[in-house]
Amino acid sequence: MRAKRRRRRRLVRMAALAVCVLAVVAACGWVVKSGISMVVDAIETGNFSTIGNAPFKQGNGPPYVVAVDAGHGGQDLGAEGIYTEVNVTEATANALISLLEQDANYTAVRCRKSGEGMSVAGRAEAANKAGAELFLSIHANYDETGTASGFECFPQTAASETHEQSLRFARLLAAHMQAAGASLRGEAGVRYAFYEDDGSGGYTKVIQEESYEFDTNAQTFGVLEKTQCPAVLAEQCFLSSEADAAAFASDEGCKTVARTYYEAICEYFGTTPITG
């Protein structure tokens, strides 16, 4: 009788142990399985990271598709300073596209032909149709007093699905321009532009610093609104400033800016820049 009870107790203990072992194995299996499915999800969606220091994995590159928009064009010459803006945007865009074309990690998309005009919607459409994974609109600034100087760029606003990636790219552009010798406007060269209804049928352009807390549905630049990938509009320098124009709008200056933008793009995607 006693021996039978002992045997039963031993059986109960063994059964309990077996249940525990099974539970642990099942838990491990679940962890491994969910880990695998997270990795598979990340590969399928391309979303390896949110904003941070790690490079974004976007789309299926390399090659990564980068759209380059030379601001203005055709009848629209842009600002007239020491240099004419459209000449500066085209020289910079051409040099940047040339660098991207020499790098097997990239496919460059030209949003408009040199010397020709293009609507804002047309520029965004060119990028979207080509499946662009990053969009850069190139501009230069002007100030009537001649006193303003420095680099600034505008990411997509918090209302955009690609706001965080756009902001990350904007910060990289500003950091690389600073390293190239540019002063940064505002807090750190990254700002937001809004067109706010002025109440009488028109719009007023409002510039906000990066720390601005979004509480508006106002529209930003059309190319940033209409592009379906992370997009930034950059004002590389002031055409009304002697020092800025010499450093970042002359023939050599445009090449310097193109190289700087190229290196920011490489850091964004986590590729090694080509030498030269």
Residues that bind Zn ion (CB under 5 A): 71, 78, 139
What crossing angle do the helices spanning 251-269 and 85-102 adopt, rounded to 10°? 50
**What type of residue is 21?**
V
| 8-state DSSP, 154 | E
Q: What residue is closest to Zn ion based on CB? A: 139
Alpha-carbon torsion angle 205, 150, 268, 102, nearest 10:
110
Closest approach, Cβ 38 to Zn ion, in A, equals 43
- Which tokens in the block code for residue 119? 């609507």
Query: Closer to Zn ion at the Cβ: 140 or 167?
Result: 140
As beta bridge partners, residue 206 has 194
Neighbours of 208 (CB within 10 A): 18
Closest approach, Cβ 137 to Zn ion, in A, equals 9
Closest approach, Cβ 143 to Zn ion, in A, equals 13
By CB atoms closer than 10 A (0-12, 13-18, 19+), residue 210 is: middle
Query: Closer to Zn ion at the Cβ: 137 or 166?
Result: 137
Neighbours of 158 (CB within 10 A): 14
Query: Closer to Zn ion at the Cβ: 92 or 105?
Result: 92
Pairing of strands 134-141, 64-70: parallel
- Which tokens in the block code for residue 26? 């099942």
Query: Closer to Zn ion at the Cβ: 84 or 228?
Result: 84
> Are the beta carbons of 37 and 29 closer than 8 angstroms?
no
Query: Closer to Zn ion at the Cβ: 73 or 78?
Result: 78
Closest approach, Cβ 97 to Zn ion, in A, equals 18
Closest approach, Cβ 70 to Zn ion, in A, equals 10
Closest approach, Cβ 138 to Zn ion, in A, equals 8
Query: Closer to Zn ion at the Cβ: 206 or 274?
Result: 206
| 8-state DSSP, 124 | H
Closest approach, Cβ 231 to Zn ion, in A, equals 15
Distances (CA, A) of 180 to 151, 177, 240, 259: 11, 5, 20, 10
Query: Closer to Zn ion at the Cβ: 112 or 139?
Result: 139
Q: Which of 271, 273, 272, 269 is nearest to 48 (CA)?
A: 269
